[in-house]
Chains A and B, each alone.
Chain A
Amino acid sequence: GAVVSQHPSWVICKSGTSVKIECRSLDFQATTMFWYRQFPKQSLMLMATSNEGSKATYEQGVEKDKFLINHASLTLSTLTVTSAHPEDSSFYICSARGREHLPYEQYFGPGTRLTVT
């Protein structure tokens, strides 16, 4: 149980365009979803936390107008990178937790590799 999927697994887009990444919880209702990014040879950094019924909370230094997060339903969260630039190229990973999970539990998606040309 507690499976999280992401789509697409990789995407290439042109500079200036927007790209949407989906994160789905397949066998539980995700009351909290997290978005992380990982630059090459670096560890994961939390971008934002999205709780059921409320707007996403962004970490310091993350532009909310550039990285739009929508917790559309209890099984789907989307991250839209608007007006993407080459420096946005990164590995984006989501994780999720449901009501039945302990507060410290998080289940990770497989990640989406974004390349902006």
Chain B
Amino acid sequence: KNEVEQSPQNLTAQEGEFITINCSYSVGISALHWLQQHPGGGIVSLFMLSSGKKKHGRLIATINIQEKHSSLHITASHPRDSAVYICAVMEYGNKLVFGAGTILRVKS
């Protein structure tokens, strides 16, 4: 079993839909990252959070430390949101462990 599990693996949505991507982990962590990777490969850090909830524009990330679970929400999705979304947890010892990623495609 992987230490970091993401669901779904693939997601297709219509423009405007509300999207949720989930991340569950099995180890103790100090923080969790949500990353976005576009087809060209470049990685953008969306959120780093250790508790609660953060919001940037149409993106919202939440984390429940007790339940070892985080969600990334995209409101009013747009085709430009199409990318791979990666959850990565920072284990104690400051090593990042990455999930396999969720491939999101938003159709217009």
Chain A residues engaging chain B, CB cutoff 8 angstroms: 34, 38, 42-46, 49, 91, 93, 102-111, 113
Contacts and interface: CB of A to CB of B under 8 A. Distances in A.
B86 A103 contact: no
B31 A107 contact: no
9 contacts: A44-B88, A45-B98, A46-B95, A103-B90, A104-B50, A108-B43, A109-B43, A110-B43, A113-B41
Contacts, number: 48
A114 to B, nearest CB: 11
B106 interface: no
B101 A43 contact: yes
A46 B96 contact: yes
Contacts of A34: 96
A103 B30 contact: yes
Given A104-B30, A108-B35, A44 B41 contact: no
